[in-house]
Amino acid sequence: MEPTDSAAATPWPTETLISAGLAGTGLRYLFPYQRLVITNILEAARSAGIPFADLGDSTASGREVSEEDLHIDKVPPDPDRELWSGYGRQIVILPTGAGKSLCFQLPARLLNRPTLVIFPILALMADQERRLRSQGTPVVLLRGNQTKEERDAIAKVLQSPANTFIIANPEVLKTAPVRRMLKGAQIAHVVIDEAHCVSQWGESFRPAYLELGEILADLQAPLLTAFTATASPQVLEKIRHYIFNDGDVHLVMGNPDRPNISYRIVRTLAKEGALRHLLRALPRPAIVFCSSRSRTEQLARALRQALQSRDIYFYHAGLEREEKKAVEDWFFASPTGILVATCAYGMGVDKSDIRTVIHFDSPDLVEAYLQESGRGGRDGMRQS
């Protein structure tokens, strides 16, 4: 159903919309970069004629935001072409723990059409679904190996989708039935979270990432935003190529510094002994990152015995779905847990009170190291 002029033309100024969106979160303010990104999305939605939710008698509050609040640059497709092509197409680079989820969650609550959020890993999809459901937000999750009954239930929800969140990964979007269902839902905003995976994984074991541009063009959503915490100029160019089909985009860049995170290198010839010493001395909860599944299992068992603690588990992509969820729920609630994990737990999962992150094995890329170390100190407290 196409929106009518009266539905699309909300009388509310953007500051009123933002205040109304915040009212349901328990938050009282936004950081400047959050306000800028959200303002861009809402103004682009207004320009595209996307209908907004009814705000009732909400009143405006807050202050105006300007582009001087943070650094803004552009990703030029060609030096001789127009650089800016509308606020509806953005690449947003914010540091880990900077609250980027709110940048797309708040507009989604205000738009009267669905928001599709594409995540790279099941752990992150499950974490986001859990958080949205706990807030009373309508959400559906599309993943592989769902039954016909599960897909039929999702299709029924999307017949009257309003401001529903749709969570998916790139692979499930390749299937024709899913794409037909999503086209019928008239998605307002597509969000690519952890967009650097286009470069890191798309050219190796996740080729579906390289098809996102074609898939998203087929869905015809008016708004498209790609979020990441780490992106070199080369990675930015690949994001623009594979997601935005070489089109013009805005690049919004926050300050990448996380002053509450301290880094140090431990030189040792006895890695496991040094690890045990660090885990005894440093605060918890803690994550220990390893490069292989077998290493996480071996190391977790060794640490359990050496530290005489049952509060130690391993996590990797080879676990069954029920096992993953059990470990995720345990670690999220544990104040003293040690999680030995591969990069499967390295992105986006938001446990705010992690105090220590240790790399037993170094990742191949600097971007991966920053992502994984950024799991700690997301509440602003000191992290080692």
Model confidence band, residue 79 (pLDDT cutoffs 50, 70, 90): very low
Residues 212-222: what's their mean pLDDT? Answer: 96
Picking from 253, 283, 306, the residue at the C-terminal end of a domain is 253
Does 264 reside within a domain?
no
Residues 191-207: what's their mean pLDDT? Answer: 92
Which structural domain, as residue segments, surrounds residue 104?
Answer: 5-253
Does 260 reside within a domain?
no
| Residue 197 burial (CB count, 10 A) | 23
Residues 229-233: what's their mean pLDDT? Answer: 83
Q: Is the per-residue pLDDT at 56 higher than 80?
A: no
Does 383 reside within a domain?
no
Model confidence band, residue 314 (pLDDT cutoffs 50, 70, 90): very high
> How buried is residue 32: exposed, middle or buried, by Cβ count under 10 Å (0-12/13-18/19+)?
middle
Task: List the structure tokens of 254.
Answer: 């926050």
Does 261 reside within a domain?
no
212 with 293, same domain: the answer is no
Residues 271-282: what's their mean pLDDT? Answer: 97
Task: List the structure tokens of 67.
Answer: 């582009």
Q: Is the per-residue pLDDT at 87 higher than 70?
A: yes
Domain containing residue 310: CATH number: 3.40.50.300
Give the integer Cα–Cα distance in Å for 285 and 205.
Answer: 31
What is the percent of the chain where pLDDT is above 90?
Answer: 56
Give the integer Cα–Cα distance in Å for 362 and 73.
Answer: 31
221 with 341, same domain: the answer is no
Adjacent-strand bridge partners of 225: 90, 191
Does 15 reside within a domain?
yes
Model confidence band, residue 305 (pLDDT cutoffs 50, 70, 90): very high
Does 285 reside within a domain?
yes
Tally of domains within the chain: 2
Residues 252-274: what's their mean pLDDT? Answer: 88
Q: Is the per-residue pLDDT at 63 higher than 50?
A: no
Does 28 reside within a domain?
yes
Window from 8-17, 52-61, 197-206 with minimum mean pLDDT: 52-61
Residues 159-164: what's their mean pLDDT? Answer: 83
Give the integer Cα–Cα distance in Å for 309 and 305.
Answer: 7
